[in-house]
Amino acid sequence: MLRTLTICAFILGLTVVAFAQDEPAPKGKVKAETQFSVKSTKAIDAETSKVGEDVNFILTAAVEADGMKLDEGAEFLARIVNIERLSDDNESSKISILFDFIQSGEEFMPCKAVIVSIENGPPDMKVETSETFEGGTMLVMAGKNLKIPEGSIFKIKLIQDVEQ
């Protein structure tokens, strides 16, 4: 009887330990405030772009930090969340962009990042924090509709750690 109880207690203990396992620890992370360059895969145009449209960016150089590596060519998946076109009511055009994920190989990782600047961007364009969309960036062009050509280089900054 004692032997049977001991075996049952042992099996119950193994079961509890097996089901109590936490998620595996992240392999590594890239910390918030890290900045790097990405290249746009399509044009962004206040006249023709639409809210909800994907705007993706390709990492121009590998990033390695805290045991995590993002290979050159990793894709930053973002979307347009707001557009205000130049009109009688709007003296400037505005496009708000929100980053969602990084795709590196087959892996998708949540990503929160903001645009810091655009190399050779339109000289009158401003880069601002979106007041409406938390973690979003608003691109503003006074006096005309904003147009950024495909292949433009953007400097972006993580605002939250990215864990693998």
Residue with tokens 């894709």: 75
> Nearest 5°: phi and psi at 5?
-65, -40
Could you tell me the residue ranges of all domains in the chain?
Answer: 29-163
Task: Identify residue 129 by its one-letter amino acid code.
Answer: T
- Per the CB < 8 A criterion, the answer to whether 137 and 96 are in contact is yes
Q: What is the pLDDT of residues 56-85, one digit of tens each?
A: 999 999 988 888 889 999 999 999 999 999
Residue with tokens 């960016």: 57
Average pLDDT over the chain reads: 87
- Per the CB < 8 A criterion, the answer to whether 119 and 152 are in contact is yes
Hey, what are 15's tokens?
A: 């079961």
Res. 5: pLDDT tops 50? no
Confidence at 121, pLDDT banded by 50, 70, 90:
confident
Confidence at 43, pLDDT banded by 50, 70, 90:
very high
pLDDT of residue 61: 96
Cα–Cα–Cα angle for 35, 51, 127, nearest 5°?
35
Any idea which architecture 29-163 has in CATH? Beta Barrel (2.40)
- CA dist 63 and 55 (Å) reads 21
Task: Provide mean pLDDT across the span 103-109.
Answer: 90
